[in-house]
Structure 1
Amino acid sequence: MAATVLGLTGTPQATAAPARATQAEVPAGVTAGVAVFDRTTGTFTERLNENQQFRSASVVKLLIALDYLRTRDPRTLPAADRTRLDSMLRSSDDKAAGYYWDLGGRTAIIDRTVTQLGLTDTANPPAGLEAYWGYVALSAADTVRIYRHILDTASAPVRDYVMGNLRQSTRCGTDGFDQQFGVAGSFERPWAVKQGWSGFGSSGNCAPKPPTTASATPAQRSTPRAAAGVDLTQEALHTTGTAGPQDRSIVAVFTLHPDGTPYGTAYTAVNRLTRSLDVPGAVRPAGSWFGTWGPGANVRLRPTTVDTTPLTTLPAGVEVLVSCQKRGQEVSIPPYTNDWWAYLPQYGGYMTNIYISSPGNQLPGVPVCSP
C-alpha cells in the first residue's frame, strides 16, 4: 500500500511506504499524533495518528507569522514589528501573537493559510472562541506541510527569517515555561523548534525570563470549555521543528495528557516519546538520563550556590541528561546531605545530586568531570 507524502505545495503524492512500522513509544495515558519526514529521501520515517487534530497552542504562531509576512519583506520590517515577531517565534510571546491575530482578522488568517499551503486538517477555533488563537486545530501531517512550505516554497527572506528565529528558541518562554523539551531536549544542534503548551496554569518557574512585550493573554493558556471535535481540556504539550544538518528531518509531535498532569511529567513524557523516534540526521547527546524530585531545582554555572545566579530552574520532576559529575559545595536538605553535583550538558550547568532520584550521593555509571 502506498504511503502519502506531501508535495511542495501540500498536494499529496504517492511514494513507497516505509519498510517498517513506527517505532514511536507513547507513554501510558498519553494521546499522540506524530510525523517525521526525511527531506533527503522524501519519505516519512514515523507516522502515528498523523491526521488527528489537536488544539495547536503556540504552534499556530507559525501560521500567524507566515500570514503576516505573506505581503511583507522581513528585511524591511519596522523595528517594532521585528521585535514582536522575534519574540513570538523565539520565546512564544502570547501578547505578540494576539496582536497579529487581531491585525490579520483572526480566523481569516487560517482561511488564507489553509488555501495557500494546501492544509487538510487545520481548522479555525470553535464558534464563540474565535479570539483564542491557541484553539486552532492542527495535525502532525499539516505541521509537516507548514515546515515544507517554509523550507521549500517560501521566499528565501521569509525562510531565512522564520527558521533563523526558530534556531534561536530561548530556553524560557515569556510566560516562564521551560520550552527546551522534545526536539530541543532530545537532539544535539543543529535544530530549530516551535513548541506549544496549554492547560498547565498561567505561568511557569523557568528562570531567568526573557524580555516580553506584555503579559500572557488567555488565548493559549486557559481552557474555558471543551468543544466538539478537538480536545480543549486535557493538558497539551507539542514539539515541532527540524533536526540535523540542512534541516534534514521535519518532526511534529502533538500530545495530550490526562487532566491535572504536572508540567514536568508531561515534559518528560514528550522527551521520552521524541527520543524513541527515527529522526534521520539527528544526533542524540551522550550521557545518562535520571529522574529528579522536588520543585525549584536550579541549574548553576558552577557546582556551588555561592555567588552563582541560577541559569534556569527545572520544571518539577523532569528527567535530566547527565554527562559527568564532580564534587562541589555541600548541600543539605534534611535528612539528605550531598556534595556531588551533576553536569547537565543541555543546560550548560550543574545541579546538586541531592535532587536526582538515585541511591547514594554519587550517580552510578556517570564519570567524574575533568578539572
Structure 2
Amino acid sequence: MFRTQARRSGARSLLALAVAGVCLAAVPVPAAAGPVAGPRAVTSAQVPPGVTAGVAVYDRQTGTFTEQLNATGQFRSASVVKLLIALDYLWNRGPVYDVPSADRVRLDAMLRSSDDGAASFYWGNGGGGAIVDRMVSRLSLVNTVRPVDDNMWGYTAVTAADTVRIYRYLLDQAPVAVRDLVLGNLHASTRCGTDGFDQHFGIAGSFEQPWGVKQGWSGFSSGGCTPKPPKPPTVAAAGTVAVDLTRPVLHSTGTVGTGDRSIVAVYTSHPVGTTYGKAYTDIGRLTRSLNVPGAVQPAGSWFGTWSENVNVRPQANTQQAAKTVLPAGVDVLVSCQKQGETVSVPPYLNDWWAYLPQYGGYVTNIYLHSAGNQLPGVPTC
C-alpha cells in the first residue's frame, strides 16, 4: 500500500501515461408494418441535466411499451439511418437473388462498424433522400423525414417511436434472409466504429448479451479507439432543417434479451461542447434507468475516469500492448481489482489495477475517481 492516494474526483487532469456471397431466399415482400400498438407507459427514465432525450422501449412478449418519453420527438439520425439504407438496398430484389460479395462486405461494415463510406455509397446509388421517402412509405413511419441537404444522410429526422416500427418490421415481417443479415450484423457489433469511435455505449454498455445494436453519433471531435484522427463536427447553415443540427447527438437503438425480447430506442442530444466521454456516460446512465424486459444488467460498480487516452491492458501491467483506450472521462464498470505493476503519474503512485469486464482488460486505479488507492466496495480478483 502506498501513501499517495489515487486521483480524486475534483482534481484537474494530468497528462495520461502511456499505460494506462450470401443467397437470400425467395420470400414474398411483406406488407408494411403498421403503427406501433400498446398503451402509453409511465417512464422511469432518468435524463441527465442538459440532455434532451427521446425514448421508447417495446416488450415484444406482451406487445406493450414499458417506456415512452418524447417518443415522437425528432432527432437527427446520425448513423441510425443506416438501417433504412440497408433495408432499401435489400428490398424486393426478386424471388431469388444473391448479394454480391462486394456488397456483403459493405453491408457488414456499415451495420457492424457503422462505416460511413459504405453508407455514402448506397445513399448515392439509391437516390439519396428518396431512400428515406421509400422506407417511410413501406414501413408506415410517421415522423421520419428525409434531410433537406440531400448530401447529408445523417441529417435524416428520426424518432424513437419510428425506430421501434423499423425493428418490429425486421423482427416480425421481414423475409428471413433479410432479418438474419441485418440483425446478425447488429448482434456482431464491433466495439470500435471504422471512424475510431467507441460505439459500445447505451444498450451495449448497460446490459449483458444477447443484444444487437445500431448506434449513432455526430458532432464530437474524438471518441476513443485511438488510431483514427479526430473528425470535426459538421455545422449546417441556420434555418435549413427542422431538426437541431448544432448540438452533438448520441443514440443507441437495438434489441435486448433472449429472442430479441425488447426493442430499445434511446436518442439524446447534448449541450454544445459536451465531450464524447460525458455524452457516453450520460446515455449510459439514462439507459440503465429504463425498464427493459429481458435485460440483465452486469454485476460490478461504476466509477468515473479522468484524463485522455487511458489504456486498457490485457494484464495488470504495462508490458503488453493496450487492448483499446477509453473515451476521455467516461464511466466504467469495475468487477474486481488486483495489485500489479506500480504506476507513477506524478504526484500519484499506485499498484492497484481495476478489471473492466466490458473491455476485457485492466486500467490502473490512478485514473479512476476514488479517495484511495483501492476502490471501495470492489472485491479482489
Tell me if both proteins adopt one fold, taking TM over 0.5 as the criterion: yes
1:99 deviation in Å?
0.2
Q: State the partner residue of 1:367.
A: 379
Pair 1:174-2:174 in alignment: no
Query: Which of 220, 225, 236 lines up with 1:224 in the alignment?
Result: 236
Structure 2: how far apart are the matches of 1:195 and 1:29? 21
Which runs of structure 2 are paired with 1:135-174 in the superposition (5 Å)? 135-174=155-194
Structure 1: how far apart are the matches of 2:236 and 2:223? 20
Pair 1:312-2:324 in alignment: yes
Query: Which of 122, 130, 137 lines up with 2:150 in the alignment?
Result: 130
Structure 1: how far apart are the matches of 2:37 and 2:251? 28
Task: Kindly provide the amino acid, as one letter, of the partner of residue 302 in structure 1.
Answer: Q
1:160-185, Cα deviation, whole Å (9 max, x unpaired): 01000001111000110000100000
Q: State the partner residue of 1:27.
A: 48
Query: Which of 267, 273, 298 lines up with 1:285 in the alignment?
Result: 298
Q: State the partner residue of 2:210.
A: 190
1:23-48, Cα deviation, whole Å (9 max, x unpaired): 00000000000000000000000000
The structure whose RCO (Cα within 8 Å, separation 6+) is larger is 2
Pair 1:233-2:246 in alignment: yes
Conserved? CA contact 1:22–1:48, under 8 Å: yes
Q: State the partner residue of 1:112.
A: 134
Structure 2: how far apart are the matches of 1:217 and 1:77? 31
Conserved? CA contact 1:173–1:179, under 8 Å: yes
Query: Which of 74, 79, 87 lines up with 2:101 in the alignment?
Result: 79
1:273 deviation in Å?
0.2
Q: State the partner residue of 2:367.
A: 355
3-state SS, counterpart of residue 142 of structure 1: helix
Structure 1: how far apart are the matches of 2:254 and 2:38? 23
1:207-253, Cα deviation, whole Å (9 max, x unpaired): 467xxxxx9999xx522334342000000000000000000000000
1:131-184, Cα deviation, whole Å (9 max, x unpaired): 100000000000000000111111000000100000111100011000010000
Conserved? CA contact 1:223–1:233, under 8 Å: yes
Change (3 A) 1:216 1:61: farther
Structure 2: how far apart are the matches of 1:61 and 1:13? 21
1:79 deviation in Å?
1.4
Conserved? CA contact 2:37–2:63, under 8 Å: no
Pair 1:90-2:112 in alignment: yes
1:16 deviation in Å?
4.1
How many residue pairs align between the two structures? Answer: 349
**Which range moved further: 24-33 or 73-82?**
73-82
Conserved? CA contact 2:57–2:66, under 8 Å: yes
Identical aligned residues as a percent: 65
Which runs of structure 2 are paired with 1:9-24 in the superposition (5 Å)? 9-12=32-35, 15-18=38-41, 21-24=42-45
Structure 2: how far apart are the matches of 1:189 and 1:15? 26
Task: Kindly provide the amino acid, as one letter, of the partner of residue 327 in structure 1.
Answer: Q
Change (3 A) 1:13 1:182: closer
Task: Kindly provide the amino acid, as one letter, of the partner of residue 67 in structure 1.
Answer: D
Task: Kindly provide the amino acid, as one letter, of the partner of residue 116 in structure 1.
Answer: R
Structure 2: how far apart are the matches of 1:103 and 1:12? 29
Structure 2: how far apart are the matches of 1:336 and 1:319? 20
Query: Which of 266, 271, 276 lines up with 1:253 in the alignment?
Result: 266
Structure 1, unpaired ranges of 5+: 1-7, 210-214
- Please provide the CA RMSD for this pair: 1.8
Conserved? CA contact 1:170–1:179, under 8 Å: yes
1:72 deviation in Å?
3.8
Conserved? CA contact 1:95–1:217, under 8 Å: no
Change (3 A) 1:261 1:217: closer
Conserved? CA contact 1:95–1:216, under 8 Å: no
Q: State the partner residue of 1:336.
A: 348
Pair 1:58-2:58 in alignment: no
Conserved? CA contact 1:208–1:311, under 8 Å: no
Q: State the partner residue of 1:268.
A: 281
3-state SS, counterpart of residue 259 of structure 2: helix
1:305-339, Cα deviation, whole Å (9 max, x unpaired): 11x11111000000000000000111100000111
Change (3 A) 1:217 1:100: farther
1:45-95, Cα deviation, whole Å (9 max, x unpaired): 000000000000000000000000113489821111111110000000000
Please report the TM-score for the alignment, with normalisation by the length of structure 1: 0.91
Structure 2: how far apart are the matches of 1:254 and 1:149? 20
Change (3 A) 1:132 1:228: closer
Q: State the partner residue of 1:212.
A: none
Conserved? CA contact 1:35–1:44, under 8 Å: yes
1:109-131, Cα deviation, whole Å (9 max, x unpaired): 011100000000100112xx111
3-state SS, counterpart of residue 245 of structure 1: coil
Please report the TM-score for the alignment, with normalisation by the length of structure 2: 0.88
Query: Which of 191, 200, 206 lines up with 2:225 in the alignment?
Result: 206
Change (3 A) 1:13 1:365: closer
Pair 1:294-2:310 in alignment: no
